[in-house]
Structure 1
Amino acid sequence: MSNIAVQRIKREFKEVAKSEEGAKCEIRVELVNDSFTELRGEIAGPPDTPYEGGKYHLEIKVPETYPFNPPKVRFITKIWHPNISSVTGAICLDILKDQWAAAMTLRTVLLSIQALLSSAEPDDPQDAVVARQYKENYDVFLKTARFWCSCYAGAPKQASNGFEEKIKWLTDMGANEQVAIRTLSSSSWNIEKATEELFS
């Protein structure tokens, strides 16, 4: 990795660690290896969203051409959000693609991803299934996103809405728990539909 990129990342590291905004918004970044090409980010789910109380881990891969090209970022923690793949963690966010500018920093990236959790863009989705649920059945979307937040991101457990029983029903029939959760979530917790999808 070029010296420019390494120096820049070292500086940005300090910026995230020392910024009041970083502490207040609960964003962190740490090295995975010594080459500065792979980092791990962490963001807290924003208040008044279904992600509140959750901690989300991100994989950040820094290209050789940084800061002239954006880092590649994806969620490691599973999340139910229209602009983030519920399967791969890929993120649909303009600054990680064509709207990137060399003046942007790791702090900008983490804060922008955190802001995306507060204001989804269902008309420009990364996950079409989640986006459809968000638009057609917002109440079920909120319950599902909260459930995923407590399942995967460590948020306090909410009232389960009968979700646990449905998951148990499918796992008792032989489905893998993660697959059961995703299938039920995708079918808006309709047990007949999920059963048919998994076992027919």
Structure 2
Amino acid sequence: MANIAAQRIRREIKEVMKNEETAGASIKLELIDNRWTELKGEIGGPPDTPYQGGTFILEIKVPETYPFNPPKIRFLTKIWHPNVSSVTGAICLDILKDQWAAALTLRTVLLSIQALLAAAEPNDPQDAVVAKQYREDPHMFEMTAIHWTNVYAGGPTPVFEFNQKVRVLTEIGVNEQVARVALSTYHWDIERATEEIFSIYP
């Protein structure tokens, strides 16, 4: 079984390297330590989204039963999106769960994840906090997603005011990531974020 999976993965990596669609969509795939069970995926943020200009790295773990069972994929690059955990990078996508089919390939999965960035499903969220902001305050969601893309994925558009607020909290001894998550969660209200941080970390 493992040989079937290994052969299939090698073929799929060549497919991604040669495919014009994936090249145009900034999608890459490579083995880690030459082991077919562990791969690194890379997708570019889709145009006209808060993720535009960002480069997002994905961890891909392939089971020995592939392609009859789906790969396990998560974001290594932090991202603010309703269908991706802002903490673990876990992805809520049907083809990675009950809608998987052996005919699917890693190329189609990466393209589907990229499409998810452009068309979130807030009613089937992986991250309830992000989904709530997405539904209730779309502008704040977009600004926060742009900020995260700039900080973590090399995106081109810094949100200066947000960087200042993170700096205020780090200067009083708060961990930068803790500060950013709290501020993002509380709509960049520095007082509410500070209260929350010090209630958790007195």
| Shared fold per TM-score greater than 0.5 | yes
Find the aligned partners of 2:164 and 2:104 in 1 and give their Cα distance: 46
Residue aligning to 1:98: 98
Residue aligning to 2:4: 4
Q: State the AA in 2 paired with 1:135.
A: R
Q: State the AA in 2 paired with 1:130.
A: V
Matched, 1:189 2:170: no
Matched, 1:199 2:189: no
Deviations for 1:67-100, whole angstroms, at most 9, x for unmatched residues?
Answer: 0000000000000000000000000000000000
Find the aligned partners of 2:183 and 2:47 in 1 and give their Cα distance: 26
Matched, 1:17 2:17: yes
Residue aligning to 1:169: 168
State the TM-score, normalized to the length of structure 1. Answer: 0.98
Which secondary structure state, in structure 2, belongs to the residue aligned with residue 56 of structure 1? strand
Deviation at 1:33, TM superposition (A): 2.3
State the TM-score, normalized to the length of structure 2. Answer: 0.97
Residue aligning to 1:53: 53
Find the aligned partners of 2:122 and 2:191 in 1 and give their Cα distance: 26
Deviation at 1:165, TM superposition (A): 1.6
Deviations for 1:36-65, whole angstroms, at most 9, x for unmatched residues?
Answer: 000000000000000000000000000010
Residue aligning to 2:148: 148
Between Structure 1 and Structure 2, how many residues are aligned?
199
CA RMSD of aligned residues (A): 0.9
Structure 2: segments with no counterpart, 5+ residues = none
86-95 vs 27-36, greater mean Cα deviation: 27-36
Find the aligned partners of 1:2 and 1:95 in 2 and give their Cα distance: 22
Q: Is the 8 A contact 2:146 2:159 kept in 1?
A: no
Percent identity of paired positions between Structure 1 and Structure 2: 67
Deviation at 1:35, TM superposition (A): 2.5
149-158 vs 113-122, greater mean Cα deviation: 149-158
Q: Is the 8 A contact 2:143 2:159 kept in 1?
A: no
Find the aligned partners of 1:56 and 1:189 in 2 and give their Cα distance: 24
Deviation at 1:173, TM superposition (A): 1.3
Which secondary structure state, in structure 1, belongs to the residue aligned with residue 56 of structure 2? strand
Which secondary structure state, in structure 1, belongs to the residue aligned with residue 36 of structure 2? coil
Structure 1: segments with no counterpart, 5+ residues = none
Deviations for 1:127-167, whole angstroms, at most 9, x for unmatched residues?
Answer: 0000000000000000000000000000113342x111211
Deviation at 1:182, TM superposition (A): 0.8
